[in-house]
Amino acid sequence: MQRRQFLAASSAAALSALALPDPDSITRRTAAAESGATVNVGSGEVAAVRHMAKTLGDAAAELGGGHARHLAVRYLTEDVRPWLEGTYTQATGRALFAAVAQLAHLAGWMAQDEGNQGLAQEYYKESYGLAADAGDAELAATALRGLAVQAIDLGYRAAAVRLSEECVGYARHLDEPRAIAYYNATLANAAAADGDRRTATKSLAASQTAIERAPKTPGESWAAHYSPGRWAHESGMILAGLGDLGAAEEHLHHALDIHGLDRRRTRAIVLADLGQVRLRRDDIDGAFVAWDEFLDCANGLHSMKVHDAVHDMRARLDLKRLRGVAGAEELRERAATVHTRPA
């Protein structure tokens, strides 16, 4: 299949998720389960799914999506799926669907970070359908955000904007500042990639307003991980895309040194981005400092995004204006030994 055909097909498949929700799904499943299911599902099973999603999510955030995706998938397919076909009340069913939506979303994120875009899309769509069936607007929006970010990364600009707009639509009914900031930043990112500076600026301002009123201590929200530090990183790269390199570097500095990102994978990506922004500002020494620390963080991570960042750095170090510059060759040699195991 040619690239253009692939992009069109994948973009259409992402947008098709918007037609998935079925509000009566849980009612029908509950009625069907009562007639023939043998597995009784209660609050214990729901708590187990949530605990596993958090535990595996913490590991992936630290070490990369490729680190334990097979564990998440095995747990989802072998342990959790039979519970969806079990016997449960409607209240338990909604809680179960919401918990499984979290786990499916995590599996999608892991697959995407591992470089398997097609599989990631399927898990995001499944997560969205489960969350919408459960009536959980935040989880549904987060799944759509996964599809939107994937569309941004792969260049499906119109699809990215459409999916991001839908995320923000869900956020209007939420009372969770971090989630509102999360989805508005996604729309800002998609709009910036599409060349729509007005929408990007407006959405970024809405995201900033939300994150500034978020409580310091994260709650139980699925978007609770979207801290001011992560917001500063994302907004910094949006500003870089809009050409405001000074503000971009300031935001990345805040992400690293003011808020202190605690996940090794996240910190590695921010450092790689900071090096790129500094190089664009002709701060070669500053770029080398950021990239040197980036390589310290990157080694051993199982992440396609980190893997690509290493190769991007090596390509930039080979630019004509950096040939012969002190420190460039040393960084190139270090980068050649970094092991990121993207898949």
Cα gap 261→267, rounded to integer Å: 6
Cα gap 205→202, rounded to integer Å: 5
- The pTM for the full model equals 0.85
Structure letter (DSSP) for residue 243: T
| pLDDT computed for residue 287 by the predictor | 97
| pLDDT computed for residue 36 by the predictor | 54
Structure letter (DSSP) for residue 322: G
How far is CA 100 from each of CA 6, 52, 264, 328, rounded to the nearest angstrom?
A: 29, 10, 26, 47
Per-residue DSSP letters for 134-179?
A: HT-HHHHHHHHHHHHHHHHHHT-HHHHHHHHHHHHHHHTT---HHH
> What is the residue extent of each domain of the chain?
258-343
Per-residue tens of pLDDT for the chain, all 343 residues: 333 443 444 555 555 555 544 444 544 454 555 555 568 889 899 999 999 998 888 888 888 888 888 888 888 888 888 898 888 888 999 999 999 999 999 999 999 998 888 899 999 999 999 998 899 999 999 999 999 999 999 999 999 999 999 999 988 888 899 999 999 999 999 999 999 999 999 999 999 999 999 988 877 777 888 999 999 999 999 999 999 999 999 999 999 987 767 788 999 999 999 999 999 999 999 999 999 999 999 988 989 999 999 999 999 999 989 988 989 999 999 998 888 775 5
Cα gap 187→137, rounded to integer Å: 17
Q: Is the dihedral of CA 12, 109, 255, 299 positive or negative?
A: negative
